[in-house]
Chain A
Amino acid sequence: MVGFSLALAAVAAALAMAAGAALPMRARVLWVGVLTALSAAAGGAAAVAVLAGSGTFTANYPNLFPLGGVRLEFDALSAIFVLATAVVAVPASIYGIGYSAHGPASRPVQIAFPLLVWSVMMVPAAGNVTGLIAFWELMALSSLVVVLAEHHHNTEARTAAQWYAAMTHLSLLAIVLALIVLARQAGGDSFADIRLGVHQVGPISAGVVFLLTLVGFGAKAGVVPFHVWLPRAHPEAPSHASALMSGAMVKLGVYGLVRVGWDLLGGGPVWWGAVVVVVGLVSAMFGILHALIASDLKRLLAYSTTENIGLIFIGVGAAGMFASSGNRTLAAVALAAAMLHVVNHAAFKGLLFLGAGSILSATGTRDLDRLGGLARRMPVTAATFAVGSLAIAALPPLNGFVSEWLLLQSLVHSLPSSAAVVAVAMPVAVAVVALTGGLAAATFVKAFGTAFLAMPRTAEADQAHESPRTMQIGLVALSGVCIALALAPTVFAAPLQRVALAVGGLADGRPIHTNGVYLQLSGIQAGLSPLLLAVGLMVMIVAALAVVRRGRVRRTIRDIPAWGCGRTVQTARMEYTATSFAEPLQRVFDDVLHPEIDIDVDHRTESRHYVQAIRYRMHIRDGFEHRLYLPLLAAVRRWGDRARAVQNGSIHRYLAYSLVTLIVVLVVSR
């Protein structure tokens, strides 16, 4: 069953690529969408089968490449990531049919997209070092093509692609180094051999491998300080591809970290987990602060991805800390929280990126300050974006709340019997999770409120219209997934136990118990029922409506102009914009964000007491990009200029170089 599904996924992806290469434009977009959705659905079916308990699927293709084969090993840990991919890839592919018709329909993009979907599903399925690296690189290259989709009329896309290419290959370099060291010391290329031989790896080598893994996979996951490519690449890619990249591809960084750090290496000392927690805390805070002040909707979503990956890292790192200090039951709960958040985030972030794509194709802008009033013009997009916003703000009764609750429970119940380092780290972690939760709520009130509510701020927003049917199907499907995940997280009880068992170095036991509709945790006396919370809310709403309806004498609704404090003219220029909405919080976090503010005041020539115009400019730079990467790039450029002296065009000097090289080679190889 699993093997058949995986084969079907591969065949469908190959057919989709063929369709993308061969068919004329209109048919191309349709068939690529349908076949990619089929491929992702087949992968999702394999994942569901494994999570439901069909056992690990393995396959071996020893002669696939000249120097090494590919092994597939599809266990529960792989499956949860493939499931997250399928959750976002199926609706995104269908959405892409309508979206690409007016935009990125070119052959390279239509070939790269199915390849990207398939390789994202195959990375977790790889069962040896060669396979992992091969699929990883396939994923990196196909996503790079997708980022470049609109390069001919958008120079930003080129810069974004350069940053992305550099970061993704930095990541590859670190991963290859780590895995080569690991495979060599453990004496085997396949994951099974590495697990058997991992005791031969010394503690120092293990630490080095772990740190390299953290750098390599962290760069892909977009954690601070490797996040710089996310807010550039996600906005420039076509929206259904952004959804896939942000919802699924960056999660593979988490997968790699868990797979190598706690499965293959079998876990390590407490500081491993502590480092991951610290990276997660910094990423969560940094990401949400920049999302809060961003007025480019897709940039906002990209920064919010950094935040959510930060939360997942906190869960994984906390699990590592608990496991190292001997509390493996609690580790299982923390891991379950992280894994559930992987799936939840795929659903709501995919949904939000698709919504952003609908806004972009309807209005031609991603700038929240130029939108407004879209709820009336695009009702389906508005309703589904609202679901995604509530979910990502971790509000009950939606799915973001469930995983955030699990995470908080695992952090809060660590204290009674633990080391001092845990006791200091956990309150800080809870505070950061809480603050990011609050700021996320503010961020998405801003995003939804300024894009969809009140009056349109520009003519483009005024003339917006609802997107084509296929795009609406994608949006509605993903919001359905969000709601389903919210109401029935209890179905994940048994699968999450299988995931915990698959990660040998981390956890054992069953993290989540269910007692009907209640969610209960092992070792923690706490309960939650998202379903009953939703039912309770609905009951209260119905009761309130009944009481209010009965009491109302006159049932008419009178439309009146909004009250303008005595002013009779109400224009959209008086509305709060996204920038002004975030201003108080931006002021509170002034010391972290360092905004650069310019105010120019022009006076009338007659008298300087009369102001003619005021110009206000505010710019907030990404601190890491500004202070870390730009100086680094400048240094590289300087060294490059100096190295140019070696190559001055003189043929005599080149002959001398050849001679010296020859002598060195002879000496070395003697």
Chain B
Amino acid sequence: MSATGIAVAMLQVVLTIAAAPLLVGMMRLVRARLEGRVGAPIRQPWRDLRKLLRKERMVSANTGWVFSIAPLVLLASAALVAGIVPFLSTRSALDQVGDLFAVVYLLLLGTVFLSLAGLDAGTAFGGMGASREMTIAAIAEPTVLVAIFALSVSTGSSNLGAIVAATLAHPSTAASPESLLAFAALAVVTIAETGRIPVDNPATHLELTMIHEAMILEYSGPDLAMVELAAHLRLVVFLGLLANLFVPWGIATTVQPLHLAAAAAAVAIKLVALAATIAAIEVFIAKVRLFRVPELLAASFVLAFLAVTASFFLA
């Protein structure tokens, strides 16, 4: 673990935290414009977070220590993952600390703590959100791991840096059937795990249809700010994984500042393109019933499974 590696990891964490609310603001703006509204400016999520940080912390009398530490664990796990995922460079010091499996389970750690916090308030909505969130997380898990399986077959490693480096070395693999299938599978999971339409609606105000929002109903002030920031971060992490695992071009394989700056620009373009696409698609589709979500995830699992079989039988 070199000093430059640690610096790259910290740079990634700081930059993703800075960029995540802006990306969410951009998505909201795209959506507003497509729906014929003016929409809030792109930096509105940052303003909201700043406002929340200054507010008083109000805590339900029923809750205990789990409710208090859950936002911290959620945010910390998302931030740590932001340091592992190769956003800027394959030389992040955290690359050998955790591989794709560690990334997946770290994100699950955050989900688990948020679900526990939802239960801790003792309200029906909190429990409802927690139960639904864990349902979706559990069913999404096979798709994610089998998609990782498909990715690591062709490269011989599940470490993110190795996968990115292998795709850079053999550009044709990016367009191979297994790669495309795995991309499609992970894209569906990204939608489910980040709570976007058609699985969950991040802008909903109707408690009965909520998943993520139902769990965090009891949070206020700085705690809510942490939960919101973590949600933004998780979105960026998932989109970053999609962008750089399958289309890694532009990423720095060194730690020179110039290359890192170019990589930051490249990843920003990729993220904006992906996020704008998702926001645009969301305008045209409706949220599906909760009990149709498993079918969606089952379909994504089939794609991931086909990706593994393709990587074996077509290789």
A interface, CB within 8 angstroms of B: 372-373, 375-376, 386, 390, 393-396, 401, 404-405, 408-409, 411-413, 415-416, 423, 426-427, 430-435, 437-439, 441-442, 445-446, 448-450, 452-455, 518, 524-529, 532-533, 536-538, 540-541, 543-545, 548, 551-554, 556-565, 570, 572, 574-576, 580-585, 587-588
If A441-B134, A533-B106, A580-B131 touch, does A430 touch B149 (CB 8 Å cutoff)? yes
Given contacts A416-B153, A548-B53, 20 further A-B contacts (CB under 8 A): A373-B62, A409-B101, A430-B146, A438-B139, A449-B115, A449-B116, A453-B116, A526-B158, A532-B97, A544-B76, A548-B222, A551-B53, A559-B61, A561-B61, A562-B126, A562-B218, A565-B125, A576-B126, A583-B131, A585-B138
Which residues in A have their C-beta under 8 angstroms from that of B32? Answer: none
Tell me whether B291 and A587 are in contact (CB under 8 A): yes
Which residues in B have their C-beta under 8 angstroms from that of A562? Answer: 60-63, 121-123, 126, 218
When C-beta atoms are compared, the residue in chain B nearest to A572 turns out to be B122
If A431-B305, A439-B138 touch, does A584 touch B109 (CB 8 Å cutoff)? no
Tell me whether A433 and B145 are in contact (CB under 8 A): yes
Which residues in A have their C-beta under 8 angstroms from that of B311? Answer: 415
Q: List 26 A-B contacts (CB under 8 A).
A: A386-B66, A394-B105, A413-B156, A416-B315, A427-B309, A430-B146, A432-B142, A435-B139, A435-B141, A438-B137, A438-B139, A442-B137, A455-B62, A525-B156, A552-B221, A554-B55, A556-B56, A558-B58, A560-B58, A562-B62, A565-B123, A574-B123, A575-B122, A575-B123, A584-B135, A585-B134
Q: Which positions 125-183 of chain B face chain A at CB distance < 8 Å?
A: 125-128, 130-132, 134-135, 137-142, 144-146, 148-149, 152-153, 156-159, 162
Docked Cα-Cα span, A138 to B30, in Å, equals 72
When C-beta atoms are compared, the residue in chain B nearest to A524 turns out to be B157
Docked Cα-Cα span, A430 to B124, in Å, equals 35
Complex partner residue of B145 from A401, A430, A582, CB under 8 angstroms: A430
Docked Cα-Cα span, A367 to B102, in Å, equals 34
B20 vs chain A, min Cβ distance (A):
14
Docked Cα-Cα span, A434 to B140, in Å, equals 9
Which residues in B have their C-beta under 8 angstroms from that of A408? Answer: 101, 145
Tell me whether A563 and B123 are in contact (CB under 8 A): yes
Which residues in A have their C-beta under 8 angstroms from that of B127? Answer: 575-576, 580-581
Docked Cα-Cα span, A575 to B97, in Å, equals 40
Interface check B242, CB cutoff 8 A: no
Interface residues of chain B: helix, strand, loop or mixed (majority): helix
B145 vs chain A, min Cβ distance (A):
4
Which residues in A have their C-beta under 8 angstroms from that of B56? Answer: 554, 556, 558
Spot the interface stretch: B77-85, B250-258, B272-280.
Answer: B77-85
Interface residues of chain A: helix, strand, loop or mixed (majority): helix
If A396-B106, A431-B301 touch, does A415 touch B57 (CB 8 Å cutoff)? no
Tell me whether B145 and A570 are in contact (CB under 8 A): no
B58 vs chain A, min Cβ distance (A):
5
Tell me whether A412 and B149 are in contact (CB under 8 A): yes
Tell me whether A525 and B159 are in contact (CB under 8 A): yes
Docked Cα-Cα span, A339 to B83, in Å, equals 32
Tell me whether B57 and A558 are in contact (CB under 8 A): yes
Which residues in A have their C-beta under 8 angstroms from that of B88? Answer: none
Interface check B204, CB cutoff 8 A: no
If A548-B222, A565-B125, A581-B130 touch, does A527 touch B60 (CB 8 Å cutoff)? no
When C-beta atoms are compared, the residue in chain A nearest to B66 turns out to be A453
If A544-B79, A572-B122, A576-B127 touch, does A431 touch B62 (CB 8 Å cutoff)? no
Docked Cα-Cα span, A541 to B72, in Å, equals 6
If A395-B108, A544-B76 touch, does A526 touch B119 (CB 8 Å cutoff)? no
If A438-B140, A453-B66, A528-B102 touch, does A559 touch B59 (CB 8 Å cutoff)? yes
Which residues in B have their C-beta under 8 angstroms from that of A437? Answer: 105, 108, 141, 145
Tell me whether A405 and B156 are in contact (CB under 8 A): no
Which residues in B have their C-beta under 8 angstroms from that of A582? Answer: 131
When C-beta atoms are compared, the residue in chain A nearest to B207 turns out to be A565
Tell me whether A584 and B132 are in contact (CB under 8 A): yes
Docked Cα-Cα span, A446 to B112, in Å, equals 10
A403 vs chain B, min Cβ distance (A):
12
How many contacting A-B pairs (Cβ < 8 A)? Answer: 276
Tell me whether A560 and B60 are in contact (CB under 8 A): yes
B248 vs chain A, min Cβ distance (A):
18
Tell me whether A540 and B80 are in contact (CB under 8 A): yes
How large, as a class, is the contact surface on chain B? 35 or more
B55 vs chain A, min Cβ distance (A):
8
Tell me whether B222 and A434 are in contact (CB under 8 A): no
Which residues in A have their C-beta under 8 angstroms from that of B139? Answer: 435, 438, 588
Interface check B29, CB cutoff 8 A: no
A76 vs chain B, min Cβ distance (A):
28
Docked Cα-Cα span, A562 to B221, in Å, equals 15
Tell me whether B62 and A533 are in contact (CB under 8 A): no
Docked Cα-Cα span, A435 to B65, in Å, equals 29
Q: Which positions 19-73 of chain B face chain A at CB distance < 8 Å?
A: 50, 53-66, 72-73
Tell me whether B312 and A527 are in contact (CB under 8 A): no
A425 vs chain B, min Cβ distance (A):
12
Count chain A CB atoms within 10 A of each CB in B66, B94, B105, B221 and give the residue with the most: B105
Count chain A CB atoms within 10 A of each CB in B106, B127, B291 and give the residue with the most: B127
Which residues in A have their C-beta under 8 angstroms from that of B313? Answer: 423
Tell me whether A575 and B149 are in contact (CB under 8 A): no
Docked Cα-Cα span, A411 to B308, in Å, equals 12
Docked Cα-Cα span, A282 to B248, in Å, equals 39
Count chain B CB atoms within 10 A of each CB in A442, A552, A572 and give the residue with the most: A442
Tell me whether B94 and A536 are in contact (CB under 8 A): yes
Docked Cα-Cα span, A411 to B101, in Å, equals 13
B112 vs chain A, min Cβ distance (A):
6
Docked Cα-Cα span, A416 to B65, in Å, equals 48
Docked Cα-Cα span, A553 to B57, in Å, equals 10
Docked Cα-Cα span, A386 to B109, in Å, equals 12
Which residues in B have their C-beta under 8 angstroms from that of A543? Answer: 79
Complex partner residue of A415 from B94, B294, B312, CB under 8 angstroms: B312
When C-beta atoms are compared, the residue in chain A nearest to B124 turns out to be A574
Docked Cα-Cα span, A548 to B141, in Å, equals 32
Which residues in A have their C-beta under 8 angstroms from that of B225? Answer: 548
Tell me whether B115 and A536 are in contact (CB under 8 A): no
Tell me whether A561 and B152 are in contact (CB under 8 A): no
Tell me whether B158 and A412 are in contact (CB under 8 A): yes
When C-beta atoms are compared, the residue in chain A nearest to B120 turns out to be A453
Tell me whether A454 and B158 are in contact (CB under 8 A): no
Tell me whether B75 and A544 are in contact (CB under 8 A): yes
Tell me whether B119 and A528 are in contact (CB under 8 A): no
B59 vs chain A, min Cβ distance (A):
6
If A395-B108, A395-B112, A438-B137 touch, does A536 touch B148 (CB 8 Å cutoff)? no
Docked Cα-Cα span, A561 to B293, in Å, equals 33
Docked Cα-Cα span, A411 to B145, in Å, equals 11
Complex partner residue of B102 from A405, A415, A563, CB under 8 angstroms: A405
Interface check B4, CB cutoff 8 A: no
When C-beta atoms are compared, the residue in chain A nearest to B158 turns out to be A526
Interface check B268, CB cutoff 8 A: no
Docked Cα-Cα span, A545 to B152, in Å, equals 36
Complex partner residue of B119 from A401, A454, A541, CB under 8 angstroms: A454
Which residues in A have their C-beta under 8 angstroms from that of B73? Answer: 537, 541
Complex partner residue of A409 from B60, B125, B141, B158, CB under 8 angstroms: B158
If A405-B101, A518-B96 touch, does A427 touch B106 (CB 8 Å cutoff)? no
Which residues in A have their C-beta under 8 angstroms from that of B1? Answer: 532
Tell me whether A540 and B138 are in contact (CB under 8 A): no
B283 vs chain A, min Cβ distance (A):
28
When C-beta atoms are compared, the residue in chain B nearest to A453 turns out to be B120
Interface check B217, CB cutoff 8 A: yes
